Amino acid sequence: MSKQFDVIVIGAGPGGYIAAIRAAQLGFNVACIDEWKTADGKPAPGGTCTNVGCIPSKALLQSSEYYEHAGKHFGEHGISLSNLKMDVAKMIGRKDQVVKQNNDGILYLFKKNKVTYFNGRGSFVKAVDGGYEIAVAGDKPETLTASQVIVATGSNARPLPGVAFDEETILSNDGALRIGAVPKKLGVIGSGVIGLEMGSVWRRVGADVTVLEGLPTFLGAVDEQIAKEAKKALDKQGLKIELGVKVGEVKTSKKGKDIQVSVAYTNAKGEAQTLEVDKLIVSIGRVPNTNGLNPEAVGLKLDERGAIVVDDDCKTNLPGVWAVGDVVRGPMLAHKAEEEGVAVAERIAGQHGHVDFNLVPWVIYTSPEIAWVGKTEQQLKEAGVKYKAGTFPFMANGRARALGDTTGMVKFLADAATDEILGVHIVGPMASELIAEACVAMAFRASSEDIARICHAHPSLSESTKEAALAVDKRTLNF
């Protein structure tokens, strides 16, 4: 006997669980199906983000940053420590607890909002009169039907061709977040977001980390000036990043009790090289996931990358079937998935859900943090847009000096004629938090003059945002 719902959401990552909650808030009877389980078999909603992505990576970044501060920077404050140690098992255990708090939080939210949660794999069975039949395979198999289905099945790590993840030696994000002891030598393929964040974690706690990047430019999507500043800081910290390499054969071999990985590659000068490491993280992007969804059963259209084809409103080729998050086009970011989830739930309710893709901020949680929203200087140049730029260095900010973290800058790009803010780029302390002001300003189509005229608390890092806005008009007060 099939259970009838108004809306079925497949996937409880940030796209799916938020869509389910919003749909329930709007008065629909909602089911949310997710197959993730903990190692000991407990349901673990939250998707990649909660289980092996945003949340655990930030927990490890925090722990490793404290360790680095204690070892390298506490002395400046007159604090001396002896016998400083890193207990990796404890750090990983804390990270697991943080993940669990988030899993439990989502289970609580489902209850609070009366979303019916099914732990198992959801797949299309067939189209039925006025909707779709979805099978749930798991400990308790079920059949559900609804007229509206939201697919939010996320993404998986992309392996190097012919090099499977074993999560012990060749690691995706999953294995990279649960290495049991600090590897002496760690290799990372890809200096994208995961490579830099995970490379930073393990370098801070003592690994000798080498990152091999295929492209000749560092963080090509980031504003060039900001990327250059970030690279300088990461180089200084000892993260070895080789750009413009071509990765060849990856071999694992036994050395006594240990396993060694050797990566053959050609460097930017065309010379053949070999990198020998104890563990290798492969972070070369992610692929949309529709494993087990059985899209063929209903004729749901995928593109050549395996992403579900959607229009600007997240509508698929099938009436009543929507798709959001990493499984569709656009940046693979948790907050983008969430915004799409909310917008789809509202569209199902006949409202005008809206996502502005130009206002999706990016943050890379290295130290210094890198954050931006809107256009980069190179994008504006390419598009022939006339702009004014203003920058302000954290070196000239009192709070940054007090914190002992003066790396980086805030950069504003504004339209030359109207002064409307077109992009804000930050490399430096708490860039992840500072970028919110830029998002708000740009959502209200503010000018740089608007920000320059707003009273910002002193002393605060956010004064650098105001000063960068003043710099657009060449009238910084503190630099």
* Residue list 365-384, contact with ligand NAI (CB under 6 A): 365
Measured CA to CA, the distance from residue 208 to residue 187 in angstroms comes to: 8
**Residue from 6, 68, 142, 213 that binds ligand NAI (CB under 6 A)?**
213
212 binds ligand NAI (CB under 6 A): yes
What type of residue sits at position 95?
K
DSSP 347-403: HHTTS-----GGG--EEE-SSSEEEEEE--HHHHHHTT--EEEEEEEGGG-HHHHHH
CB nearer to ligand NAI: give 58 or 388: 58
Q: Tokens 């404290």, residue? A: 66
Measured CA to CA, the distance from residue 377 to residue 93 in angstroms comes to: 42
Could you say which of ligand FAD, ligand NAI, none residue 191 binds, taking C-beta under 5 to 8 angstroms by partner kind? Answer: ligand NAI
Catalytic member of 73, 352, 456, 458: 458
| Closest to 47 (Cα-Cα) out of 116, 95, 112, 119 | 119
Q: Please report how close the Cβ of residue 175 comes to ligand FAD at its closest, in angstroms.
A: 11
DSSP 249-316: EEEEEEETTEEEEEEEEE-TTS-EEEEEESEEEE-S-EEE--TTT-GGGTT--B-TTSPBP--TT-B-
Q: Please report how close the Cβ of residue 367 comes to ligand NAI at its closest, in angstroms.
A: 13
CB nearer to ligand NAI: give 283 or 462: 283
Contact between 119 and 32 (Cβ < 8 Å): no
285 binds ligand NAI (CB under 6 A): yes
Q: Is 334 helix (H, G, I), strand (E, B) or coil?
A: helix
Q: Please report how close the Cβ of residue 115 comes to ligand FAD at its closest, in angstroms.
A: 14
175 binds ligand NAI (CB under 6 A): no
Could you say which of ligand FAD, ligand NAI, none residue 47 binds, taking C-beta under 5 to 8 angstroms by partner kind? Answer: ligand FAD
Could you say which of ligand NAI, ligand FAD, none residue 152 binds, taking C-beta under 5 to 8 angstroms by partner kind? Answer: ligand FAD
Could you say which of ligand FAD, ligand NAI, none residue 353 binds, taking C-beta under 5 to 8 angstroms by partner kind? Answer: none
Residue 209's contacts (CB-CB under 8 Å, 6 or more residues apart) are 186, 187, 188, 199, 202, 203, 238, 239, 240
Contact between 208 and 184 (Cβ < 8 Å): yes
What type of residue sits at position 268?
A
Q: Is residue 335 annotated as a catalytic residue, yes or no?
A: no
Interface size with ligand NAI, residues (CB under 6 A): 23
CB nearer to ligand FAD: give 325 or 423: 325
Q: Please report how close the Cβ of residue 435 comes to ligand NAI at its closest, in angstroms.
A: 12
Contacts with ligand FAD by CB under 6 A lie at: 10-16, 33-36, 47-49, 53-54, 57, 121-123, 152-155, 173, 194, 289, 292-293, 325-327, 332-335, 337
333 binds ligand NAI (CB under 6 A): yes
CB nearer to ligand NAI: give 71 or 214: 214
* Residue list 180-199, contact with ligand NAI (CB under 6 A): 189-195, 197
What type of residue sits at position 346?
E
Q: What are phi and psi of 306, to 5 degrees?
A: 90, 5
Q: Please report how close the Cβ of residue 216 comes to ligand NAI at its closest, in angstroms.
A: 10
Measured CA to CA, the distance from residue 274 to residue 123 in angstroms comes to: 44
Q: Please report how close the Cβ of residue 310 comes to ligand FAD at its closest, in angstroms.
A: 12
Could you say which of ligand FAD, ligand NAI, none residue 212 binds, taking C-beta under 5 to 8 angstroms by partner kind? Answer: ligand NAI
DSSP 87-136: -HHHHHHHHHHHHHHHHHHHHHHHHHTTPEEEEEEEEEEEEETTEEEEEE
Interface contacts to ligand NAI, rule CB under 6 A:
189-195, 197, 212-215, 247, 283-286, 331-333, 363-365
Q: Which residues are catalytic?
A: 458
